[in-house]
Amino acid sequence: HDEPQNNTKVINLKQDVENMLSEVNEIDCLNRSSSKESIADSFELISFANKMSEDLNDNSLDESKSEINFDEETIQDPVEDKIQKNDIVKKINSLQCIFTWKLKSNERNIISQILNEYGDYNLDISSPEFSLKRFIGNLIIGYELFHNGEIENGQIKILEIGKWLEELDNGSDKFYLSINTGLYHIMKGTFIHMLYASNLLEECKWLLDDIIPFNKMNCIPKASIFAIHAAVLTEYGANAQYYKKACYFANKACVLDPSSPHWFYIYAVALTKQRTFLHSYKSHPTENEINSIQHAIILSDGKDTVFNYHRILLDKDSIIRNFHDNINIKNKNMYDINLKANQKIVEMIKTVISMEPKDPLVIVGCAKILMTLPIKVRDFDLGKMYLTKAMQMAPNDVAVLNSIEKAITHYKRVSNKTYEHKKTASKQFQPSFKNKKSKIAEKLRFLVNNHKNGKDPLPDLIAMLNESNGRDKVIIMAQICSYTILFANNLRAGVEQFMVLLEEPKINNDHLIIDHFSSFGSKKFNLADLICNEIRLATNSCETPSEEMLFYFKALTKIMETFRLEMKDVDPSMKSKLIVNSSDRLTCLSAAFKSGLNLSDNNSEVDRCKNITNKSNNPKSFQNVDSKIFKAKSRVNKKNNMNTSIGKIFNFQTSIVDRTYHAKINQMKSKISKFLNSSETVEFSNYVSLGIKND
Q: Which residues of the chain have pLDDT under 50?
A: 1, 30-66, 70-75, 419, 421-423, 425-429, 431-437, 582-586, 590, 593-662, 664-665, 668-695
Q: Round to whole Å and give the CA distance between 46 and 31.
A: 13
Does the pTM surpass 0.95? The reply is: no
Q: Round to whole Å and give the CA distance between 152 and 161.
A: 14
Q: What are phi and psi of 579, to 5 degrees?
A: -75, 130
The pLDDT score that the predictor gives to residue 417 is 59
The pLDDT score that the predictor gives to residue 76 is 53
The pLDDT score that the predictor gives to residue 381 is 87
The pLDDT score that the predictor gives to residue 368 is 93
The pLDDT score that the predictor gives to residue 78 is 57
Domain boundaries, given as residue ranges, for the chain: 82-217, 302-427, 439-578
Q: Round to whole Å and give the CA distance between 663 and 690.
A: 11
Q: Give me the CATH topology for the region 302-427.
A: 1.25.40
The pLDDT score that the predictor gives to residue 14 is 79
The pLDDT score that the predictor gives to residue 173 is 95
**246: how many CB neighbours lie within 10 A of its CB?**
27
| CB within 8 Å of 253: residues ≥ 6 apart | 223, 224, 226, 227, 230, 260, 263, 266, 267
How far is residue 389 from each of residues 123, 234, 358, 365, 367, measured CA to CA in Å?
20, 30, 11, 12, 10
3-state secondary structure 147-216: HCCCHHHHHHHHHHHHHHHHHHHCCCCHHHHHHHHHHHHHHHHHHHHHHHHCCCHHHHHHHHHHCCCHHH
Beta-ladder partners of 61: 106
Does 302-427 match 82-217 at the fold level? Answer: yes
Q: Round to whole Å and give the CA distance between 452 and 374.
A: 53
The pLDDT score that the predictor gives to residue 469 is 76
Residue 473: which region, alpha, beta or left (left: phi > 0; alpha: psi -120 to 50)? alpha
The pLDDT score that the predictor gives to residue 683 is 32
User: What's 82-217's CATH class?
Assistant: mainly alpha
Q: Round to whole Å and give the CA distance between 473 and 465.
A: 6
- CB of 550 closer than 8 Å to CB of 645: no
For residue 519, with 0-12 CB atoms within 10 Å meaning exposed, 13-18 middle and 19 or more buried, which class applies? buried
The pLDDT score that the predictor gives to residue 106 is 65
Quick: pLDDT tens for 128-183. 999 999 999 999 999 999 989 999 999 999 999 999 999 999 999 999 999 999 99
The pLDDT score that the predictor gives to residue 3 is 58
